[in-house]
Amino acid sequence: MFVFLLQLRDLLVHHRLHLFLLYIFLIWIVWMWKAGLSRLYKPYTGDADVTSSVIIPVVDEPEDLFRDVLTRIIGQQPDEIHVVINGPRNLELERICADFPEVQTTWTETPGKRNALRIGVENSVSDICVLVDSDTIWTKDTLPELLRPFSEPDIGGVTTKQRILQPDRHVLTRWADWMESLRNEYAMPAMSVLGTVGCLPGRTIAFRRDMLEEGMDNFLHARFLGIFLEVSDDRTLTNECLKLGYRTVYQSSSLVYTDAPLSWKKMAKQQLRWARGSQYNTLRMFPWMLKNARPLAFFYLADIVLPFLLLGAYVGWFVRQFIISDIDLFEPLVNNYGRVGGGLLVAVLSIIASIASSALRQSRHLRQTPSDLWRIPTFLLISTFMLMPIRMLGFTRMAHNSGWGTRAGGFAGEKIRNPQALIPYCLAIAMVLGMSLYQP
């Protein structure tokens, strides 16, 4: 933020637009738009006269966890519960399901969550299909609250509020819960106000069964950039729901908990899978969003561009400072306080300004968890030096065939050569080079 202020002064005095200035502007525009829209959000309170089928695709889970998942779901009395075990036979999970007469169990040797969801939808007869990840923990009234928005006939998909179990176990669980909190406070309610939540997160989603049946063929077979991508099934289903003319919304009164990886390697794999699927679906859905949901198009395009803009700003600054002569924004401080003193002052002021800026943009989360104010530097480090590079890597690899990545026995991906896989690499190189060579 301190550098932003220096560059803003340079823009006003010398009419030079710096890329980092544009990067910060874009962050604040996105945040203010979401913050403003989210203030209009209210959870749905109507009564929906619908029946519900819970569908749980599963490959493997710890036995105690899976039993707890089923117990909590059964306690909320859905009309049907379908567990679809896919991939290798899992006799332990079958025995757990057999302990609950309310649960209908199917095994398919074909691995893959999408095929398992298809089987569950085909076996169900209720109005609403609730798709649940096998490690998701429901809380009191998760199901009845989740069904309330379906009192409005043009709503086709609904998602829950989501948090991380025992977030204080590890720095990664703390960070993951923080990210969920920010989505709950800004992005999800903002998009819900517009009726276009772009991705209904898959831990627990409810869709009209008619919509699922109509969109199932595209869900199972649609290709983009030469491939079918198994990951990001939740985003793909949300796309189909929107394209069929339904609204997609967020129900904050329906709360679920899930786990987060405790190792950096597994967290990186999870984030890479999400980054690939998200950006793949953004480009696939972009023409529809430009025509029907322009705020959504802006939010998701900014999500793709921001990491490349930051990298381009850093590379361009390095090139201009150390390879060619360029204006030095810090020269007055260096002249007054010396190179060491001026550099130290710039570093301190930059850190303080960055923390203050982040605290303001995360104020709703900090009101709930004030102690996270002291964790902001750690949050910024993880988000900048882990998440942003992973998002750029995910962009370049979104046309590669691959499997699930974090679950043994899951979908392994198609084994074909795809010449169109070069397209994201070319786009990424063009963005970074163009931004790096930009002269303010």
In Å, the largest CA–CA distance within the chain is: 79
Cα–Cα distance measured from residue 361 to residue 382, given in angstroms and rounded to the nearest whole number: 17
When pLDDT is cut at 50, 70 and 90, the band that residue 354 belongs to is: confident
Q: Which two tokens stand for residue 222?
A: 């649609």
230-239, 337-346, 372-381: least confidently modelled range? 337-346
What are the extents of the domains in the chain? Answer: 2-37+300-436, 47-262
When pLDDT is cut at 50, 70 and 90, the band that residue 335 belongs to is: low
Q: How confident is the model over 168-219, as pLDDT tens digits?
A: 999 999 999 999 999 999 999 999 999 999 999 989 999 999 999 999 999 9
When pLDDT is cut at 50, 70 and 90, the band that residue 333 belongs to is: low
Say if CB 17 and CB 11 are below 8 A apart: yes
The predicted model gives 380-391 an average pLDDT of 93
Q: Which two tokens stand for residue 221?
A: 């077979």
The predicted model gives 386-397 an average pLDDT of 95
CA distances for 121 relative to 73, 113, 257, 293, angstroms: 17, 12, 24, 28
Asked if residue 406 has pLDDT above 50, the reply is: no
Q: Which of 44, 28, 10 is nearest to 329 (CA)?
A: 10
The predicted model gives 378-390 an average pLDDT of 93
Higher-scoring residue by pLDDT: 222, 339: 222
Mean pLDDT of the chain: 89
Asked if residue 327 has pLDDT above 90, the reply is: no
Asked if residue 103 has pLDDT above 80, the reply is: yes
When pLDDT is cut at 50, 70 and 90, the band that residue 367 belongs to is: very high
The predicted model gives 85-113 an average pLDDT of 94
Fold of 47-262: Spore Coat Polysaccharide Biosynthesis Protein SpsA; Chain A (3.90.550)
Measured CA angle at 404 (ends 398, 410), to 5 deg: 150
Beta-bridge partner residues of 167: none
Supply the pLDDT for residue 336: 62
Q: How confident is the model over 118-139, as pLDDT tens digits?
A: 999 999 999 999 999 999 999 9
Asked if residue 290 has pLDDT above 60, the reply is: yes
In which residue are the tokens 């023409």 written?
287
Q: What is the amino acid identity at position 215?
A: G
Q: How confident is the model over 58-67, as pLDDT tens digits?
A: 999 999 999 9
When pLDDT is cut at 50, 70 and 90, the band that residue 405 belongs to is: very low
Asked if residue 294 has pLDDT above 80, the reply is: yes
Supply the pLDDT for residue 346: 63
Asked if residue 267 has pLDDT above 60, the reply is: yes
Measured CA angle at 334 (ends 333, 339), to 5 deg: 145
Asked if residue 408 has pLDDT above 60, the reply is: no
The predicted model gives 398-421 an average pLDDT of 66
Supply the pLDDT for residue 193: 98
Supply the pLDDT for residue 244: 97
Asked if residue 159 has pLDDT above 60, the reply is: yes
Supply the pLDDT for residue 208: 98
